[in-house]
Amino acid sequence: MNKVALVTGATSGFGNAIARALAKDGYSLIITGRRVERLEALSNELGVPTHALALDVRVKDSVFKAIESLPSEFKNIEILVNNAGLALGQERVQDADLADFETMIDTNVKGLVYMTKAALPALIANRGYIFNLGSVAGTWPYPGGNVYGATKAFVRQFSLNIRNDLRGTGVRVTDIAPGIAKTEFSLVRFKGDEAKSDAVYDGTDYLTAGDIAQIVLNCVHLPSHVNINSLEVMATTQTWAGFAFER
């Protein structure tokens, strides 16, 4: 049977790069995203059997129906990459939009749980691998990180906890927590404000989507008895912020 990988949020950034890397490694791909034109373009470029699912991971019924109705040649899921996620805004919690908080929670937390739960039967049957894309924001706080950072802390803890539940199944689980990386992340966070987005990366080096895709492949190629629980990766130029003091 075909080796199948399922990548959420494949229309840009980490998800796009990871899908391309897994395709080159011989996997058939299930790719998800909300932007149909981008999904179709990626499907045509991958060069391997590809099944595109235009869906929003926040919509529970859509997620479960999509996985249940996969064509037979795509049911053999061996790898799940929970990449779909976003940050919205960087205002202080007292100034931020509650709707932005809800969107981040629904996408980064609930969407990840829905997709994991839907794909688990196949992953268990195939002694598969789950990659959850977290963030250094889930460990290291910063002003304006509030709910985004909290959702990524959930990703890390959920990853560690399901490792316990999956003991004996052979399923591996890795939380990958990147630091600063130049993708569409900041453009989405600042709602299309290119000046604010560009300022995040101005004058420094940063990770690329290709770097994260390479890390995923490295983990996949480790012996099956090796599980990387959590992998935090930063650009060499990025370190931890110092303590803040009110004066």
Catalytically active residues are 148
* Closest CA relative to residue 5, chosen from 39, 32, 30: 30
- Reduced to 3 DSSP states, what percent helix, strand and coil does the chain have, rounded to the nearest 5? 45, 15, 40
Which amino acid type is present at position 13? G
CA dihedral sign, ordered 175, 179, 184, 189: positive
- Neighbouring residues of 203: CB distance < 8 A, sequence distance ≥ 6: none
Please tell me whether residue 17 adopts helix, strand or coil conformation.
Answer: helix
CA dihedral sign, ordered 16, 99, 141, 139: negative
Pairing of the two strands 50-54 and 77-82? unpaired
What are the tokens at 29? Answer: 């791909």
End-to-end CA gap in the chain: 64
Residue showing tokens 């909290």: 150
